[in-house]
Structures are given as structure tokens and as C-alpha cells.
Amino acid sequence: MVLTVSTVQVPKTFQIRTFGCQMNVHDSERLAGLLEDAGYERATGDEQADVVVFNTCAVRENADNKLYGTLGHLAPQKAAKPGMQIAVGGCLAQKDRSEIVRRAPWVDVVFGTHNIGSLPVLLERARHNEEAQVEILDALETFPSSLPAARDSAYSGWVSISVGCNNTCTFCIVPSLRGKEKDRRPGDVLAEVQTLVDEGVLEVTLLGQNVNSYGVEFGDRLAFGKLLRACGDIDGLERVRFTSPHPKDFTDDVIAAMAETPNVCHSLHMPLQSGSDRLLKAMRRSYRTEKYLGIIDKVRAAMPDAAITTDIIVGFPGETEEDFQGTLDVVRQARFSSAFTFQYSKRPGTPAAELPDQLPKAVVQERFDRLVALQNEMTHSLNIEQVGRTVEVLVATGEGKRDAETHRMSGRARDGRLVHFTPGDTAPRPGDVVETVVTYAAPHYLVADGEPLSWRRTKAGDRSEAGIKPKTAGIGLGLPSFGAPAPLPAVSGCAAQ
């Protein structure tokens, strides 16, 4: 008998570590799809992956320290595993470029926000040439949504409608790293949404750095409202969300589309940043508090049940106590259901970094603590109003840290609030839908401890139970600026005015 040695190669494994915003989370789904198409497999359990990819963020000041510290911890693991590769992409890679390899010479690949599709080729080139590959483009190579994506969820999906930003906010480094706004063709967006729904997805979130300026590239200022209405015509799509809009572009037709399209959720995340008109001007935020609060009033008039969230920066250069009190006043008037609050972070390359009157850390921290205390009080008060109400919950996975010990499950209500509920005699899966009654309100979540009123099994739940997540091919043929887009459906009534 002749013994033969198998030449079958074991596929290389990968792990992606994501930092930052929803755009980065969705980009990581694209990176996973690219690597899977190139023959890699996702690492499982505690195994050390053959390829570790960092998809980075550059918005916060400590982003650099966090990345380089993590790379330092990974260096001995790479030394102990021949053939292991490390890749760094995202906004920090776009900013630091070859500096990453200089500070961490064990990194194999550096790629930017404009060429995520190059990752598999760069990994292979680094392996073949036995030297680091740094490839940063200054303009978008291909729209990310034309790339395959290995989705993270069987029931909820991200859909990019634009990338980049045309605003010039003085505190923000994103436009210099993501570039000018590029809008996808409406037909491509809707095709991707339909593909996800065909796979069982119940909820989509439309993504853009400035989502409601969608249409600027092809000259249709009503395009975003039309897109929301068109999503309402997709059978099986139960929830539509979007993030993040800019107050300067928020128009009445969008409010009408939200109110009149049944599957568009009555939840709105709209960054405020400051309640001081003087600081808004210094930030180059082209709206003032009167306009902002006017939008809030219109949204609540059309959708009294709307949950409105926001972003707020504390300690912008030159902020006085009077400026800060203005922010507290707007928070009281707007009654946000929650807020993402940030201490101003000085980012090299932004105009605000050069402004005088940078505030002492102790002053910023004290104001930050006061803002958080006020917002927590507001959030808790609004949550208490939910007690006794019936809520529809899309069951999720990973939302409840203590679900196992409390014997509860968790998910999101239509307005985006986190709900921990007792399943009772039902056995819902992530992706199923339950109706239940809120029995208790905490500052950051709701509890429903009674027997669910209903439980609906879904295709998403079937696929979650089977461990199947959508894998979508790229939608579209390249850059969105090639050719004129097909027109969206005409609108009538409020949206046409």
C-alpha cells in the first residue's frame, strides 16, 4: 500500500475588530464579504486568526493611543504565529498612512477609506513580497456597496445611501478622511434593500454621513423623502430607520414621509452639538437653536410618539458658562429620549484645534457631568411615561447583558428603546416579533415582565435559529456619478410642496 500526503490546504482565518461609527460597522461587513470571497474563513472561539483587520476611527483624541496600544499587545502573538498578518484600515489609516508602519513595523497592510476593496490583493502582495503594503487613495475607488458583504445580523441590515460629507464643521475630521459626498443611485439603494428583505431581514437602517442631504449630487432636494416613501412599498420590510441627518437639510417633506409611511419608524437621531448660537457659528453648524427646536416641534406635531435622540459636545473652545447653560436649556426644551454626549476632543488638522481658549479638562469634566445628570433625568422621566403601554419588540441578540440571570430576552421597540422582556410560555428567537406591555422603566431601558400579548415567528427568526446570516453581492456597477440616476417616484401632497 502506498501512503500519500494530503495537499489540501486549510483555509486561512480572519478576524475584524471595528472601532467607531455605524459606517465603520457596515464597512466591516464589506471587508468580511471580500475576505470570504477570497477564500478566508471567519475565526471562531479563542483561536488566533491568521489575518487580523482593524477598521479604525479617528474622531476621538484617544483613537490613536487605543490602536497603537492594541497593536503592541498583538506583536508577540504575531511573532509566535508564522504567517500571521495584520491589516489596518479605516479613518485613522487614511489619516496616519505610512506612520502606522513606522510606529508598528509588524503591520503588513495599511489601506484607507477609499479603497477597502483592495484588502485581499494587498494581503497577498504583502505575503508574496514579504514587506508591508501601504495603499491610500485620495478619492473613492468604488462605492462600498458595490462590494460583497457578510452581514452581522439575520434580521437587521445597514444600507449606505451616500458616503462622504460636504459640510465643514470645525471640530470634525471626517470630511478630510471620507471625502466629498457621493450619492448612490436610488435604484441601487432599493435593490439592496429588496435583496436583504428577500433574505428575511425585517429592518434596514439607511446610512450616510449626512443622510438627508441625499440627492445633492444629482440635483433632487426631495430625494431623501422620496426614498423613504419608496421603502414603504417593499413588501416584508417592517422597519426603516436612518442616521444621521443634519438640521440644516431637514425639510418638511421628510417629516411628512416619516409620518405617512407605515414602516418608517418614529425615531430620529438629529445632532444638536451645542445649544449656544455663538458656538454653533464657531462650529460652522449652519443652523441656530430656534431652527433646531422648530424642527423638533414639527416632528412631534406630526408624530407625537417620536423618540428623538441627539449628539452634544461639551467644552468646545471658548465655551462659557452662559454657552453651556444654553445647551442645558435646549436639552430641557427638546426632551431627548437619550443623548450621546462627548467632551470636546482636539483633532489635529481641524480648524477648531487652532482656536484660542481651549478649556481646562477639569472645567469640561464638571460641565459634562452636569449635562449627563440632566439627560439621565430626562431619559428616565420619558421612559416612565412608557409604563403600561404596549410595545412591539423585534427580538435581538446581545442587547441584554444580564438576560441569562434574569431569565429575560431583549430587543428594540419601534421607537428604538431597549426593552428587556420575560418570554413566559413563548420561545421567541432573535428576529421574531413580540408584543408586550411595559411594567417598569429604568433610566436606559424598559422592562416588560408580564406574559407577551403575542409572538410572531418570522423568516429572520428561522434563519437566526439556523445560524444563517445574509451574504449579499455588491449592488451597482461602480461610482454613483456614472450616468444620471433613474428618477424616484413622483410625490404628491405635503412632500411635493
Q: 236: which 3 cell numbers?
A: 416584508
- 440: helix, strand or coil: strand
Find where cell 497603537 sits: 68
- For residue 268, the 8-state DSSP code is E
Is residue 365 classed exposed, middle or buried when 0-12, 13-18 and 19+ CB atoms within 10 A define those classes? middle
91 a known binding residue?
yes
CA angle 183, 138, 70 (to 5 degrees): 100
169 a known binding residue?
yes
Element (H or E) spanning 90, and its range?
strand 85-90
Question: Whole-angstrom Cα distance, residue 292 to residue 288?
Answer: 6
CB-based contacts of 31, cutoff 8 Å, min separation 6 = 16, 53, 55, 89, 116, 119
- For residue 350, the 8-state DSSP code is S
Question: Whole-angstrom Cα distance, residue 338 to residue 344?
Answer: 19
Helix (H), strand (E), coil (C) string for 36-84: HHCCCEECCCCCCCCEEEEEECCCCCCHHHHHHHHHHHHHHHHHCCCCC
Residues in the chain: 497
Question: Whole-angstrom Cα distance, residue 50 to residue 41?
Answer: 10
265 a known binding residue?
no
Amino acid of residue 411: G
Helix (H), strand (E), coil (C) string for 399-430: CCCCHHHHCCEEEEECCCCEEEECCCCCCCCC
- Contact assessment for residue 250 and residue 297, using Cβ atoms and an 8 Å cutoff: no
231 a known binding residue?
no
Question: Whole-angstrom Cα distance, residue 442 to residue 420?
Answer: 11
DSSP of 185-241:
PHHHHHHHHHHHHHTT--EEEEE-TTGGGTTTTTT-TTHHHHHHHHHTTSTT--EEE
- Binding-site annotation, residues: 21, 57, 91, 165, 169, 172
Known binding positions for [4Fe-4S] cluster: 21, 57, 91, 165, 169, 172
